[in-house]
C-alpha cells in the first residue's frame, strides 16, 4: 500500500456527509456506508473497509442474494447503454469490455446467462485485476463450480472491488 491516509477527516464527518462520501463504494448499496458509520472512529483504511463489508456479511441469505443482484452483468451493451454506475463503467472499460468484437460480445452474453441461470446472481469479478481473456477464462471455469463456492468468491471479488473504490474516495478527502 502507498502512503497512509489520515482518517481524522473521515471520523469527523457527520452521518449525512459520511454516507454521501461513501454511499457508492458498494454497487447501489448505500446501506454499507450507513451501517459502517456507527463503527467510527476508524483506526485504518482496513478497519473502515471491514466495517462496510461486515454490513454485507451480516445480511441474511436472501439479503445477500438481493445485494449480489444489484451488480451489473459484464457487457459491452451495458457500457454503451450508459446505465451503469461511473465506477462500474470505468472498471469494465479498463478490461476492454467496451471494445470487444461482436462474436466475443455474444460469447460473453451467453456465458453471463449460463452463470446467472446456474447460480442465481451475476458473475462478479474485480475486472481491474484481469485481462479480457482472463475474465472469459474465469467466467467459463466458475460457471461449473458450486453455488456456495461462487457466493464465497463473489464476496471476495466484491471486497477487492470495493477496497479500490474506497481507497480512491479516501484520497479525495485528504
Q: Which residues are identified as catalytic?
A: 71
Residues in the chain: 174
Whether 161 and 123 have beta carbons less than 8 Å apart is answered as no
Q: Give CA torsion, residues 158, 74, 30, 16, to 10 deg.
A: 110
The three grid cell numbers given for residue 61, joined into one nine-digit string: 441469505
Whether 25 and 10 have beta carbons less than 8 Å apart is answered as no
Cell 478490461: give the residue: 95
Amino acid at each position: 500500500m502507498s502512503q497512509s491516509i489520515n482518517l481524522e477527516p473521515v471520523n469527523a464527518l457527520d452521518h449525512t456527509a459520511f454516507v454521501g462520501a461513501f454511499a457508492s463504494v458498494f454497487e447501489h448499496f448505500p446501506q454499507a456506508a450507513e451501517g459502517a458509520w456507527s463503527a467510527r472512529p476508524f483506526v485504518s483504511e482496513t478497519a473502515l473497509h471491514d466495517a462496510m463489508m461486515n454490513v454485507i456479511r451480516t445480511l441474511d441469505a436472501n439479503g445477500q442474494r438481493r445485494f449480489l443482484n444489484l451488480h451489473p452483468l459484464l457487457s459491452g451493451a451495458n457500457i454503451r447503454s450508459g446505465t451503469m454506475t461511473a465506477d462500474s463503467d470505468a472498471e469494465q472499460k479498463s478490461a476492454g469490455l467496451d471494445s470487444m468484437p461482436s462474436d466475443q460480445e455474444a460469447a460473453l452474453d451467453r456465458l453471463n446467462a449460463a452463470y446467472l441461470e446456474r447460480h442465481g446472481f451475476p458473475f462478479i469479478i474485480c475486472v481491474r485485476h484481469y485481462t479480457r481473456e482472463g475474465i472469459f477464462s474465469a467466467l467459463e471455469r466458475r460457471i461449473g463450480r458450486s453455488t456456495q463456492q461462487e457466493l464465497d468468491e463473489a464476496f471476495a471479488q466484491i471486497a477487492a472491488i470495493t477496497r479500490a473504490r474506497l481507497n480512491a474516495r479516501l484520497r479525495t478527502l485528504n
